[in-house]
Chains A and B, each alone.
Chain A
Amino acid sequence: MAKTDTPLLDELEKGKWPSFVKDMKQAAQKNPMAEDLLGQLELSYKEKIGHWKHGGIVGVKGYGSGVIGRYSDRPDLFPNVQAFHTMRVNHPTGWFYKTDALRNLCDIWDKHGSGLTNMHGATGDVILLGTKTDQLQPCFNDLSDAGFDLGGSGSALRTPSACVGPGRCEWACVDSLDICYNLTMTYQGQMHRPMFPYKFKIKVSACPNDCVASIARSDFSIIGTWKGNIRIDQKEVTAYAASDLDIQKEVCDLCPTKCMEWDGKVLKIQDADCNRCMHCINLMSKALRPGKEKGATILVGGKAPIVQGALLSWVIVPFIKLEPPYTELKNLIERIQDWWDEHGKSRERLGELINRLGMRVFLRAVGLPAVPQMVKAPRTNPYVFFWPEEIQKEVK
């Protein structure tokens, strides 16, 4: 048993849901860092306050990111977590693993760190939770030998992430896994050497269900979609009609555009009115499939509140075909990053910069045409700017 007395945390070993305290105690039995982490957490539970200081600059050779420095503010009580830095390890795209790779990670982390992890962090990385400064480089060396690399942190491209996509989903309109992996490999320099005004996140969802929340959490959101008609298998529609599903009530009545008609025999869709929300396809996966012309919508600017308020990403390209080597996509990403890098203030996210300088200025700078798909409605105020060349010059 662990030697630390933890009456408050012990309460969280009770109950049906798997307990993180059990995992911490398991690690504490063989690791002094985990033991002191448990002790410090118990102190936080007692005092209702955190006990970590700001991180200093720590890392591995050649990289400016991937390691988050962390120090205890009570090293007198918990000397083994005096330095307790996190390493972010870039997960295999889609969070797919073979067990030998995972066991390798575990062995490396038992050798160099606390033996505690997050599977996974919010951005998607494997989080190796806490080690000493002198273990960072040896740990990285072993990770690299095992075929793993660090993810992004600070004012860098953060580890891109993707939904399961064509790996296991019939709704995938783009190859989210391949796009994510390709961008990750292309932009290794941007991830490991922070050089932007602030963080930059890319997330790829293969359909509008957006399972990686790219619209809310990424500066550059790639969301799969299609053109053309939803493919209908009327035989399977009939089978659904004979099941528990009430097609009129649950499918047609909940369609946001009311583009579906069901007469009890045949399901009809006015595809020109469809906004591809996925509701009917989600409910009738055997009978309805996305249209055949597949691609993605590109949106930018999504972020959490700090500093100027939370934003959902805005549509800037309604439809783009995405096939390897994704040249058009990469050119767009780079044009956007160049503009942001040139005009952005320190700690200003892309969405905040577009808000400050105007979507009109942004679109012109990155060479995208204005189209009605970009707005919910045209402006209601008369404060309209015109470009100089749109104004008739004075006749002399």
Chain B
Amino acid sequence: MAKTDIGPPDYKTMLPPVIKRNYGKWLYHEILKPGVLMHISESGEALYTVRAGSPRLISTDHIREICDMADKYCDGYLRFTSRHNIEFLLDDKEKVEPLIAELATRKYPVGGTGHSISNIVHTQGWVHCHTPATDASGPVKALMDEIYDYFVTSTLPAHVRIALACCLNMCGAVHCSDIAILGIHRTVPKTDNSRVPNLCEIPSTVASCPTGAIRGDMKNKTVTVNDEKCMYCGNCYTVCPAMPIADPENDGISIWVGGKVSNARSAPKFSKLAIPFLPNNPPRWPEVVDAVKNIIEVYASNAKKHERMGEWIERVGWERFFSLTKIPFTDKHIDDFDMASETFRTSTQFKWG
């Protein structure tokens, strides 16, 4: 019988000696070049970090390859970041360039530091989820191929955090990203009345609906959906498998912009809707890639240094964001959920675009 509740391995056993010696004593750091950090301790010791990109969905053989390099250059110590990057931790400056050279021959991108676009936080999509409105790994790969140069350089006004969630459940919690890519459905669930009684709990199905579109039909032990109140979030399907919502021709992707989580300068904020719908067009989602690239390029040429996407948009105004990016503004951009009127303009202060 296996031991239970032992918890994860103690992180202290995974720290390289240079970190153990200087734990909590770090004094400052410098970005030596994109993807390379140098942290200096009060003791004068230095720690070098080389950050490399990863597709997140990786094989055990790929992990072993990463381990081989960590053994060769880092005495077997490495870490991963909250954005799925690999970080090689070195105490010997002489080994930094040879490691980067080996990473280059193995085609690992080195970067993701400073004013760059780091790896895209994303979800499972068609690879392993039961509720996705799009794939996750595919659109991420297609987009990162196109914006690769922003990962390996540091040329943007500030860093741009991109995240993708393949449905509104948002396992990736993308809702505070500079650019959020969100899978959406656009048609109502197809309730299978013959299966609801066996598969679903009616009260929890009713309670799952944010807009109160679902009513219990106790007589027939099923539910009815008020189509006009349904905004296709798919949460009912999450709790009731007899209400499938996926629709290949109408599912797709929405784009949200201007969120952040850091407290630097302005407060953390949600991303706001930029593009309500783009089609699912595998394997390379060209419409999504073009739309995101356009937003990045307009931001890069208009924002001031250190201004995050949302800070730039708030300075110039959303009306100007739409005119600069040439993204059409529609009735879908105007909120109609709870507290919607808080976003309506209550002054005569606006720009002509």
Contact = CB atoms under 8 A, between A and B. Distances in A.
Contacts of A286: 27-28
A47 B283 CA distance: 11
B29 interface: yes
B124 to A, nearest CB: 8
A250 B8 contact: no
A170 B61 contact: no
A128 to B, nearest CB: 10
Contacts of A115: 59-61
A254 B121 CA distance: 28
Contacts, number: 350
A312 B268 contact: yes
A189 interface: yes
Contacts of A52: 128-130
B60 A167 contact: no
A140 B1 CA distance: 10
A144 to B, nearest CB: 4
A372 interface: no
Interface stretch (B164-172, B290-298, B316-324, B345-353): B164-172
A312 B176 contact: yes
A61 B5 CA distance: 12
Interface string A222-255: 0100000000000000000000000000100011
B264 A49 contact: no
Interface in B1-45: 1-11, 13-15, 19, 23-24, 26-30, 39
Contacts of A95: 79-82
Contact of A18 (B63, B107, B169): B107
A266 interface: no
A19 B49 contact: no
Interface residue tally of chain A, by bracket? 35 or more
A185 B7 contact: yes
Nearest to B242: A54
B228 interface: no
B261 A45 contact: no
A177 interface: yes
A23 B57 contact: yes
Contact of B265 (A121, A141, A279): A279
Size class of the B contact interface (CB-based, 8 Å): 35 or more
Interface stretch (B92-100, B186-194, B202-210): B202-210
Given A54-B241, A99-B70, A101-B14, A216 B8 contact: no
Contacts of B276: none
Contacts of B70: 99
A212 interface: yes
Contacts of A48: 248-249, 251, 280, 282
A316 interface: no
A72 to B, nearest CB: 10
A38 B306 CA distance: 42
A32 interface: no
Interface in B209-267: 209-210, 233, 235, 238-239, 241, 246, 248-249, 251, 261-266
Given A26-B62, A37-B127, A306-B235, A12 B264 contact: no
Contacts of A9: 283
Contacts of A144: 2-4, 6
A110 B168 CA distance: 33
> In this complex, which of B14, B59, B78, B84 has the most chain A Cβ atoms within 10 angstroms of its Cβ?
B59
B91 interface: no
Interface in A1-40: 8-9, 11-12, 14-21, 23-24, 26-27, 34, 37
Interface in B88-121: 89, 107-109, 121
A117 B207 contact: no
Interface in A202-234: 208-213, 215-217, 223
B36 to A, nearest CB: 14
B54 interface: yes
B273 interface: no
Interface in A131-151: 137, 140-141, 143-145, 147-149
Interface string B71-86: 1000011111110101
Contacts of B207: 307, 345-347
Contact of A110 (B9, B60, B130): B60
Interface of B: 1-11, 13-15, 19, 23-24, 26-30, 39, 47, 49, 53-64, 66-67, 70-71, 76-82, 84, 86, 89, 107-109, 121, 123-132, 135, 137-138, 141-142, 144-145, 148, 151, 165, 168-176, 204, 207-210, 233, 235, 238-239, 241, 246, 248-249, 251, 261-266, 268-270, 280, 282-284, 305-306, 337-339
10 contacts: A16-B109, A61-B1, A92-B9, A95-B79, A116-B57, A119-B56, A169-B29, A215-B268, A216-B268, A285-B29
Given A41-B135, A306-B238, A307-B209, 4 more contacts: A15-B141, A167-B23, A211-B82, A306-B168
Closest A-B pairs by Cβ, 9 of them: A15-B145, A17-B144, A166-B24, A304-B170, A208-B263, A44-B126, A144-B2, A106-B60, A99-B67
